[in-house]
Structures are given as structure tokens and as C-alpha cells.
């Protein structure tokens, strides 16, 4: 699997992008929250079955959007006055359900919209994240993207056995190594490893599936990944500028591949 690192803040001038007809991308950033539950015309917010978001993604697809991105955080905030009262009373970013199953649901109900989900490098062991990304990339037929975040709240860290988040610079150093490891796992299956040779009874050629023996400063992983190489070859990645421009990840960003449905979009008509 290759990667697309999108430093979100480093944009070329919009005018040129529009004129060359290639570079303007349409995305929608949302999250799996109650939505509008209290205004006069609302119908008690979006239900937790995900259908509201599926419907929204299908409408976005008709409107030629490139991708939907699902935000995430991992705590019920007590940032205001030290209690969860305001957070829960006003449903401010909590409750919030997990974006990954929703991404799979959306992927299954759409055909060419990019589906980008947030996963924090603090929360998942790298192997699990690579496996999930690869699995949803298959379910979506190569349309999955990973919004890379490191988490920014101590209360989230406390849900994972830590007292506090590591200092910011260390978080980014860890994330850099993490993404490098995930990339190595994506690549642990050669593109032609699955042979499905019925006559010889061979599903995959073991010589083309490689342990990675990754031993970094923070993470260790033997590999290989136990999922088949992603159809996309490249998981779409969104990272903050600070992370995307770190030396080891700049190298990964050269292995770009689209996750945004752009290739299909040009042939689409709006209905
Ligand atoms: C488009 C976009 C999406 C983001 N999504 C999330 C998110 O879902 N969860 C989260 O904790 N932080 C999110 N962030 C915050 C980033 O993880 C990061 O803290 C921020 O981009 C600042 O990092 P930088 O200084 O490296 O650019 C997002 C930021 C951007 C620009």
C-alpha cells in the first residue's frame, strides 16, 4: 500500500488550481454525533444507525464531492468548569460514536466517494490500524483514507492507561515512526503475492509476503500484515503540517496515489 500525505495547510493559489481544472477537491468534514436534535425542524437528530450519514454521503456522491472525512476524539470532555455537564447537556462533541464502522457502512453504500476516517496513533497498536485500514480499503474498493491524528487531550490519554499525553514533540516523533511502520506493513505483501492458482492449489505465494522485523525507538512489529495488499496500493492520508513534513514521512509522501474519487468524478454527471 502506498500513501498520500496531504499537508492540510500548504495550499497552492486557488486561482491556478481552478483554471487548470485538476486540483480543486471537494470534501466534507463531519463526525458521528447527534447532529441537530433540538431546532424547530429537526427530527431528534441523526440516529445512531448511521443512515443519516449514508444518505448524506450518497448525496455528496451525486454532487461530485471527492471525499467525506469523519472526525474523532476519544473522551467526554470536562474542559469547561471541570465537569462533563456542558459537554453532555449541549451534546458538544460527545456523545460521539466510532467512525470506523460508519466508514465501512458508507463505503458499502457508495461507489466512488473517498471515505476518510480519523484514527489516533495514541489509540491503536500500529498493526491493528494497518489491518483496519487495509480491510476498509478492500471493502471500499480502494477509497479509504486515514486522517492521522495524535490526540490532543490528556483526558483521552487517561482512557488508555496514561496519566497525560506525551509532550507534543515526542507525540510527533512517535507518530512519524508509527506511520513509517504502518507503511512497511502495507508493503509487506508484494502486489502479485495472491496467485489463486487452482490447478496447483496455491492461494498466496509465501515468498512474496515478508516479515518486516521493525524495531524502532517506540514500536516493534514483526509483520507481515495478515490482510491482502490493499487495492489502492496507497491509503489516503491526511496529516497536520507538522507531521506531514517530518523527514521520514516526506519520503513516504512521494508514493502518492489518489483516495478521493477524482479519477471517477471527471466522468460523472450530476443527477
Ligand atoms: C482537516 C483536519 C482534520 C482534523 N481532524 C482531527 C480529528 O479528527 N481529531 C483530532 O483530534 N484532531 C484533528 N485535527 C487536528 C490535528 O490532528 C492537529 O492537531 C492539527 O492539524 C495541528 O497540527 P499541525 O500543527 O501539525 O498542523 C484535524 C486537523 C485538520 C486540519
Q: Is residue 89 part of a domain?
A: yes
Report which protein residue has its CA nearest ligand 1's atom 25.
242
Report which protein residue has its CA nearest ligand 1's atom 14.
149
d(CA 26, CA 262): 10
Per the model's pLDDT, the better-predicted residue between 255 and 27 turns out to be 27
How many Å lie between the centroid of ligand 1 and the Cα of residue 74?
14
Looking at residue 252, its pLDDT comes to: 59
d(CA 136, CA 144): 6
> How many domains, in total, are found in the chain?
1
Q: What is the pTM of this model?
A: 0.85
Site residues for ligand 1, CB cut-off 6 Å = 8, 29, 71-73, 118, 147, 149, 151-152, 240-243
Q: Is residue 145 part of a domain?
A: yes
Residues in the chain, total: 271
How many Å lie between the centroid of ligand 1 and the Cα of residue 129?
18
Q: Is residue 176 part of a domain?
A: no
Q: Is residue 1 part of a domain?
A: no
The CATH number of the domain where 242 resides is what? 3.20.20.30
Mean pLDDT of the chain: 84
Q: Is residue 203 part of a domain?
A: no
For 41-74, the pLDDT digits (tens) are 888 888 899 999 999 999 999 999 999 999 999 9
Looking at residue 234, its pLDDT comes to: 56
* Dihedral (CA of 243, 229, 264, 114) sign: negative
The model's confidence at residue 247, banded by pLDDT at 50, 70 and 90, is: confident
Report which protein residue has its CA nearest ligand 1's atom 22.
240
Q: Is residue 62 part of a domain?
A: yes
The model's confidence at residue 21, banded by pLDDT at 50, 70 and 90, is: low
Predicted confidence (pLDDT) at residue 188 exceeds the cutoff of 50: yes
Question: Out of 194-208, 220-234, 254-268, which region has the weakest mean confidence (pLDDT)?
Answer: 254-268
How many Å lie between the centroid of ligand 1 and the Cα of residue 196?
41
Looking at residue 256, its pLDDT comes to: 36
**Closest atom, ligand 1, to C-alpha of 148:** 17
For 65-124, the pLDDT digits (tens) are 999 999 999 999 999 999 999 999 999 989 999 999 999 999 999 999 999 999 999 999
Q: Is residue 200 part of a domain?
A: no
Predicted confidence (pLDDT) at residue 242 exceeds the cutoff of 50: yes
The domain in which residue 87 lies consists of 25-166+230-269
Q: Which of 30, 117, 149 to mutate to test the pocket of ligand 1 (most atoms within 8 A of CB)?
A: 149
Contact 238, 145 (CB under 8 A): yes
Q: Is residue 58 part of a domain?
A: yes
Report which protein residue has its CA nearest ligand 1's atom 8.
71
Per the model's pLDDT, the better-predicted residue between 136 and 14 turns out to be 136
Q: What's the distance, CA 204 to chain centroid?
A: 27
Predicted confidence (pLDDT) at residue 16 exceeds the cutoff of 50: no
3-state helix, strand, coil in the chain (%, to 5): 35, 15, 50
Predicted confidence (pLDDT) at residue 11 exceeds the cutoff of 60: no
Amino acid at each position: 500500500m502506498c500513501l498520500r500525505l496531504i499537508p492540510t495547510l500548504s495550499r497552492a493559489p486557488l486561482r491556478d488550481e481552478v483554471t487548470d481544472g485538476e486540483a480543486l477537491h471537494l470534501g466534507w468534514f463531519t463526525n458521528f454525533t447527534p447532529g441537530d436534535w433540538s431546532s424547530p425542524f429537526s427530527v431528534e437528530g441523526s440516529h445512531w444507525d448511521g443512515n443519516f450519514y449514508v444518505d448524506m454521503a450518497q448525496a455528496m456522491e451525486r454532487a461530485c464531492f471527492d471525499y467525506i472525512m469523519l472526525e474523532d476524539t476519544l473522551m467526554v470532555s470536562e474542559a469547561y468548569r471541570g465537569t462533563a455537564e456542558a459537554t453532555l447537556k449541549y451534546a458538544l462533541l460527545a456523545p460521539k460514536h466510532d467512525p470506523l464502522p460508519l466508514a465501512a457502512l458508507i463505503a458499502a453504500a457508495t461507489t466512488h466517494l473517498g471515505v476518510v476516517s480519523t484514527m489516533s496513533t495514541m489509540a491503536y497498536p500500529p498493526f491493528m490500524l494497518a489491518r483496519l485500514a487495509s480491510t476498509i480499503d478492500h471493502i471500499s474498493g480502494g477509497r479509504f483514507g486515514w486522517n492521522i491524528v495524535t490526540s490532543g487531550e490528556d483526558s483521552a490519554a487517561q482512557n488508555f492507561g496514561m496519566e497525560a499525553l506525551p509532550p507534543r514533540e515526542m507525540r510527533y516523533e512517535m507518530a512519524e515512526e508509527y506511520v513509517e511502520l504502518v507503511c512497511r506493513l502495507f508493503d509487506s505483501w508484494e502486489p502479485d503475492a495472491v496467485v489463486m492458482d487452482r490447478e496447483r492449489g496455491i492461494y498466496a505465494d509465501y515468498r512474496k509476503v515478508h516479515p518486516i522485523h521493525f524495531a524502532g525507538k517506540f514500536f516493534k512489529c514483526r509483520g507481515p500484515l495478515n490482510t491482502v495488499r490493499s487495492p489502492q496500493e496507497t491509503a489516503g492520508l491526511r496529516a497536520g503540517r507538522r507531521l506531514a513534513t517530518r523527514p521520514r514521512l516526506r519520503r513516504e509522501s512521494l508514493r502518492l496515489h489518489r483516495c478521493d474519487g477524482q479519477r471517477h468524478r471527471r466522468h460523472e454527471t450530476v443527477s
